[in-house]
Chains A and B, each alone.
Chain A
C-alpha cells in the first residue's frame, strides 16, 4: 500500500501524554473531575495508550497530587493501556495499589539534567529504576522507559548520541519493553534526530523505540517524519499540544496529537485513532483550561468549520 511502498511503517502506535506530561506543564492546575473527563474522552478516540498521571510526591508535582483519585476514577476501556509515572519503589507500590497495570520510569541522557530534575546522578536514578523494574517483573507489570534530553539539554547543551544509546541500553536491559527518546527542549532537527537514532538503533531493537518530540522550535513533525522514515513506529504526542516548555517562557512544548495524526493519515499510515474525536477532546480541555489550542489542525478546522 502507499505507506509500504514508501518504506514507512504500516501502523504507528500513538502514546497520548496529554493528561500527564501535558497537564503537568500547564500553568493552571486542573480539578480531578476535569482530568477524568479528559481521559474518558481520549479513551473513545482509538488511542491505544494514554498516560494518565504520575505517582510522584505532591510536594514536587502538585498538579498530579490527585493521582489516586484519577487512577480510580477513570473508565478503563478494553484494549487501551493507562500507564503512570513511578519515579521509585514507593511510587510504584502506590500506583499498583491504586490499580495501575503499566508504569513508566524517566531517565535522562544528561547528568546535569538528572541532577537538577531529580537531584541524583544518572547512575543513581538507574539504580532506583532497577528496583521498580524488579518489582514490576515479579508482578507482570510492563515498564516503559523514557530518556530525556536525547537531542539536547537545557544545561549541558549538546548531548552526544552515544550517551543516549548508553542510557537507553541500561533501561532496556533492566526490562523496559519500550524506550521513548525525548527531545525535551525541542532543539532537535532531522539532522540530529537521524544521528541519535542511528546510535541508539545499534543497541535497541527498532520495535522497542519511540520518539517523544517537543515542538518548541517548530521541528517536531519534521523530526517525527525522520524517525518514522527510519522505521520507528511509536510516537508520543499530547492532545491540543498541552504542556508548555518549562525552560523557555511562553514557548510551546509537546507536539499536538491532532497534527501528528493529520500527517500520518496523509501518509496512509494506520493509527486506529479518529482525528475528529481527538479534536473534540482537545476542545474540551482547552475550554476547561481557558486557553487556545496549540494544534494547528484544530485551529484551522474549527475556523473553517470543515475537517479535511
Chain B
C-alpha cells in the first residue's frame, strides 16, 4: 500500500465531526484482564451477552494467551463457545502468536487482534522481544489469517508515552502503525496505554500516523488515568477518526499506577457522542444496566461518571 496523503478528512477540515462512530467495546477482555478480582466464566459470558443487546457492533471477547501469563483469561475457549454470537456483531479475540490464533479459530473466533507497541522497552518488558521480532511473530498470524479469511485488527501500545521510556516520538508510532497496516491489519488501534496523552500530543501523533495510514483505518484507545481521555478522543474525532475503543463501566485499572483508573468508560464516551449528535447505535440505558451488572459481580464501584450521576437522589 502506498503512503497515504497527509491530510485530515474533508469533513474534518471543515470543522465537522464524523456522522457515525464505531465503538469497540473492550471491557470483557482489556477491562477484566486488568481488574483485581477474577470473574467466573458464566459471569463473563453473561456480560458479553448483555453487551450484545446494547447495539454495540464490536465486543472484544477474550484473549488466547497462555493462562500462565494471563490467568484471568484462562477460560478463553469456554467463553468463546459459550457466548451468544448475534448476527452483525463482531467478537474479536487477542492472539499473540500462531498457536493462540489456531486455538482461537478452533474455538470459533471469526476475528483476531494482535498487539504491537511503539516502545522497544515496553515490548521487551511485556513480551520479551524487540518490536521487530514481535512483528515477525505476527507475520505468521497474518499469513494464517489471510488463508482463513479472518480479519486482523492491530493495536499499537504506548502511542503517547511509555511507562519505561517516557516520551515516544510520533514518527515511531507512524512507523509501527504503517508496518502493521502493510502486513494486512484492517484497522490500527492507537493506544495511550498509560493515559498520559493530552489533546496536544494526540494531535501531533495522529498527524504523523495519518501520513502513513488512511484515517478510515484508524482507531483510538484512550486511557483515562490522567482524566484526559474524552478530551483526547474529541481531538481525534475532529481529525476524522471514527472508531473509538472503550470499556463498560471503565473496567480495567492501570497496571503502572496503583489505584489509578485505566480504560475510558463506554457510558461516558456514548454520552459525549450523543451530545455531539454522532450516531453510534448504542443504547445508553442498556449499557448502564450492563455496567451495573458487572460492577456488582466484581464487587466494585463503577468508573463511569455518567453511571454515577444517574444513580441520583
Chain A interface residues (CB < 8 Å from chain B): 2, 6, 186, 188-192, 215-219, 221-222, 224-226, 245, 247-252, 256, 259, 262-263, 265-268, 295-297, 299-300, 303-304, 308
Q: Are B275's CB and A296's CB within 8 A?
A: no
Q: Are A300's CB and B225's CB within 8 A?
A: yes
Query: Which B residues are in CB contact (< 8 Å) with A299?
Result: 257, 259-261
Contact residues of B between 176 and 198, Cβ < 8 Å to A: 195-198
Expressed in whole angstroms, the Cα–Cα distance for A249 and B131 within the complex equals: 48
Contact residues of B between 249 and 274, Cβ < 8 Å to A: 254, 256-261, 265, 268, 271-272, 274
Q: Are A225's CB and B234's CB within 8 A?
A: yes
Query: Which B residues are in CB contact (< 8 Å) with A265?
Result: 198
Q: Give 9 closest A-B pairs by Cβ, nearest first.
A: A189-B275, A266-B198, A218-B305, A296-B227, A218-B268, A259-B227, A251-B309, A221-B231, A222-B230
Query: Which B residues are in CB contact (< 8 Å) with A191?
Result: 275-277
Q: Are B313's CB and A248's CB within 8 A?
A: yes
Q: Are B200's CB and A248's CB within 8 A?
A: no
Which chain A residue has the least Cβ–Cβ distance from B256?
A304
Query: A252 and B198 in contact (CB under 8 A), knowing A192-B275, A219-B271, A259-B226?
Result: no
Query: Which B residues are in CB contact (< 8 Å) with A267?
Result: 198-200
B235 within 8 A of A: yes
Which chain B residue has the least Cβ–Cβ distance from A266?
B198
Query: A251 and B308 in contact (CB under 8 A), knowing A222-B230, A265-B198, A296-B261?
Result: yes
Chain B interface residues (CB < 8 Å from chain A): 161, 195-201, 203, 224-228, 230-231, 233-235, 254, 256-261, 265, 268, 271-272, 274-277, 304-306, 308-313
Q: Are A262's CB and B260's CB within 8 A?
A: no
User: In whole Å, how far is B16's beta carbon from the nearest beta carbon of chain A?
Assistant: 12
Residue from B228, B261, B305 within 8 A of A217 (CB atoms): B305
Residue from A216, A248, A252, A303 within 8 A of B259 (CB atoms): A303
User: In whole Å, how far is A241's beta carbon from the nearest beta carbon of chain B?
Assistant: 9
Residue from B224, B256, B308, B313 within 8 A of A296 (CB atoms): B224
Expressed in whole angstroms, the Cα–Cα distance for A192 and B201 within the complex equals: 26
Expressed in whole angstroms, the Cα–Cα distance for A283 and B197 within the complex equals: 23
Expressed in whole angstroms, the Cα–Cα distance for A263 and B198 within the complex equals: 6
Q: Are A189's CB and B274's CB within 8 A?
A: yes
Q: Are A217's CB and B254's CB within 8 A?
A: no
Query: Which B residues are in CB contact (< 8 Å) with A222?
Result: 230-231, 233-234, 272
Q: Are B272's CB and A262's CB within 8 A?
A: no
Q: Are B195's CB and A300's CB within 8 A?
A: yes
Q: Can you pick out 6 interface pairs between chain A and chain B where the beta carbons lie within 8 Å of each other?
A: A189-B275, A190-B234, A217-B306, A248-B310, A267-B198, A267-B199
Query: A266 and B197 in contact (CB under 8 A), knowing A221-B228, A225-B235, A296-B225?
Result: yes
User: In whole Å, how far is A18's beta carbon from the nearest beta carbon of chain B?
Assistant: 16
Which chain B residue has the least Cβ–Cβ distance from A268?
B200
Which chain B residue has the least Cβ–Cβ distance from A221?
B231
Which chain A residue has the least Cβ–Cβ distance from B238?
A229
Query: Which A residues are in CB contact (< 8 Å) with B313?
Result: 247-249
Query: Which B residues are in CB contact (< 8 Å) with A248?
Result: 308-313
Expressed in whole angstroms, the Cα–Cα distance for A155 and B308 within the complex equals: 19
